Structure 1
Amino acid sequence: MRGNEVIYSLGTSNRTPGEFLHLLRSLDVELVVDVRRFPSSRFQHFKREELVTLLEGEGFGYVYLGQELGGYRSGGYQSYLSTEGFKRGLEWLEELARERRVVFLCAERFPWRCHRRFIGWELEREGFRVVHVIDEDRSWVPKPR
Structure 2
Amino acid sequence: MILSTIGYESATLPEMIGKLRSAGVEVVVDIRAVAASRRAGFSKTMLRASLAAEGIGYEHLRGLGTPKPGREAARKGRIAELEAIFATHMTSPEAQDALAHAIARERPTALLCFEACATGCHRRIVAELIRYATRCEVRHL
Which TM-score band applies after superposition, normalised by the shorter structure?
0.7 to 0.9
What is the identity, as a one-letter code, of the residue corresponding to 2:100? E
**Displacement after TM superposition at 1:78 (Å):** 1.2
Is the contact made by 2:2 and 2:139 (CA closer than 8 Å) also made in structure 1?
yes
Q: Does 1:70 align with 2:65?
A: yes
What corresponds to 2:90 in structure 1? 81
Question: Aligned pair 1:123/2:119, yes or no?
Answer: no
* Rounded Cα–Cα distance in structure 2 between residues aligned with 1:58 and 1:121: 28
Q: Which of these residues, 129, 132, 135, is aligned with residue 140 of structure 2?
A: 132
Aligned to 2:79: none
Question: Aligned partner of 2:67: which letter?
Answer: Y
The aligned residue for residue 41 of structure 2 is 45
User: Runs of 4+ in structure 1 displaced over 3 angstroms?
Assistant: none
Match of 2:19 in 1: 23
Query: Structure 1 length as normaliser, TM-score?
Result: 0.81
> Residues 80-135 of structure 1: CA distance to partner in whole angstroms, max 9, x if unpaired?
22222222111101112x2x1100100111111111121022112112221122xx
Q: Mark the runs of 5 or more structure 2 residues left unpaired by the alignment.
A: 70-83
Aligned residues: 126
Normalising by structure 2, report the TM-score.
0.83
CA root-mean-square deviation: 1.5
Q: Deviations over 1:52-91 (max 9, x none)?
A: 111111111111102x101125671011222222221111
Deviates more, 1:122-131 or 1:103-112: 122-131
Give the unaligned 5+ runs of structure 1: 134-145
